[in-house]
Amino acid sequence: MTATKGYMTALVAAAAAIIFAITRVENWGVLCLLVLAVALFGARKDAKAISWGQFMPLGIAVLFVFFLIYHYANPMWHRVIGFQTANMRHIFQWNDIFNALPLNDAAFFRFWQPNWLTAYFQWVYNYGFALSYWICVIRAFFTKDVYKFGRYSLAGYLLQVPLILPFYNLILLQEVWFVQGTPDLLERALTPEQQFATAMNCFPSMHTSIAFAGFLLSMREKSVWYRWWVGTYCISIIVSTMYLKIHWVIDVIAGMAFAYGCVKLADWIVGTKGYAAFAASFERLGGRLHSRFSPSRKPDNGLTGRNTAAEPHDRQTRPDAPAQTGTTADPTSLAE
């Protein structure tokens, strides 16, 4: 095996290992894996014209960092809820106000509740919080686009968590079923103490905000299949929060507005000169690493010549960004 093939094999193995580890954090089943796999169809239409050898070294490193955040975020979130339950004295208490508002409990979504539909929305809700985010981030990895990578990760999670916590610390609003004293349609086996803590943090709906951020960004992609597939899945997540009596209608509207703000903030960050410099360094370093293990090959565009990282090409780019110059992919690129 040549040095180049060995190097690329190692990169592919590392990427596969990280993606597999991501799927194991919450033990995604066959349906979750199917949703993810189908979302990758058409990634080539939105891919950037650089080689995998140039993108993968740092792309894998960044994906691994995102995995670590995901792996440790759930225990951290439970510690936050525990702290809130024990110490927080919310300034605003909205349970009675929201329950008194007509139609705010989204009863119109439950006029028809066959068992199969309830089971579908239970599955969507239980896995949608993380899966809607990871579909977008993993696909961004497969497009080899540093700008998509940054935009999806920032708008979908990294900005949302710190920005949403002040709402949860100031506002006590609990889930619809808990406030109305009806059965939990998610059928969680919770003690009364667990019910109180689990039913907190409703305004705004973070299931909605993560899903709607994914929806907004997916609508910018060129692949029609991806837009329909991810768009439908994200809308299902939003509907599930109301069908299952988890969130109030106003929670959902607030979650959508919050997501829109996070997307715009991510657009601004990714559009800065600082991020352009990061993207250029990202590809340039990847090109150097690839060149080191491919001594007989010409360096990638990230090493010599005009760098494509400063010239994002898709519909998610900065308005003032120059047009892409048509960089040619490395002949040894992985099949997309």
Residues 217-242 have pLDDT tens digits of 999 999 999 999 999 999 999 999 99
Q: What is the CA radius of gyration of the chain?
A: 22
Q: What's the confidence (pLDDT) of residue 83?
A: 67
Q: How far apart, in whole angstroms, are the C-alpha atoms of residue 246 and residue 105?
A: 9
Q: What's the confidence (pLDDT) of residue 51?
A: 86
Contact assessment for residue 142 and residue 272, using Cβ atoms and an 8 Å cutoff: no
| pLDDT over 90 at 160, yes or no | yes
What are the structure tokens assigned to 182, written together? 């009806």
Average pLDDT over residues 43-54: 89
Q: What's the confidence (pLDDT) of residue 156?
A: 92
| pLDDT over 80 at 328, yes or no | no
Q: What's the confidence (pLDDT) of residue 7?
A: 78
| pLDDT over 50 at 334, yes or no | no
What are the structure tokens assigned to 301, written together? 């565009």
Average pLDDT in the chain: 85
- What pLDDT band is residue 320 in, cutting at 50, 70 and 90? very low
| Of 36, 83, 115, 314, nearest in space to 201 by CA | 83
Q: How far apart, in whole angstroms, are the C-alpha atoms of residue 285 and residue 300?
A: 10
Distance set, CA 128 to CA 221, 237, 269 (Å):
20, 6, 26
Q: How far apart, in whole angstroms, are the C-alpha atoms of residue 138 and residue 218?
A: 13
Q: How far apart, in whole angstroms, are the C-alpha atoms of residue 286 and residue 276?
A: 15
Q: What angle separates helix 146-153 from helix 115-142, to the nearest 10 degrees?
A: 140
Q: What's the confidence (pLDDT) of residue 287?
A: 81
Average pLDDT over residues 179-186: 94
| pLDDT over 70 at 137, yes or no | yes
DSSP summary character for residue 335: P
Measured over all CA atoms, what is the biggest interatomic distance in the chain, rounded to whole angstroms? 73
Residues comprising the chain, all counted = 336
Determine how many CB atoms are found less than 10 A away from the CB of residue 4.
Answer: 16
Lowest mean pLDDT across 150-164, 230-244, 318-332: 318-332
Burial class of residue 115 in the structure, from the number of CB atoms within 10 Å of its CB (0-12 exposed, 13-18 middle, 19+ buried)? exposed
Strand partners for 172: 93
| pLDDT over 50 at 317, yes or no | no
Lowest mean pLDDT across 109-118, 230-239, 291-300: 291-300
3-state secondary structure of 171: strand
Percentage with pLDDT > 90 across the chain: 62
The residue ranges of DSSP E strands in 54-151, in sequence order, are 92-93
Contact assessment for residue 312 and residue 145, using Cβ atoms and an 8 Å cutoff: yes
Q: What's the confidence (pLDDT) of residue 199?
A: 85
Q: What's the confidence (pLDDT) of residue 82?
A: 62
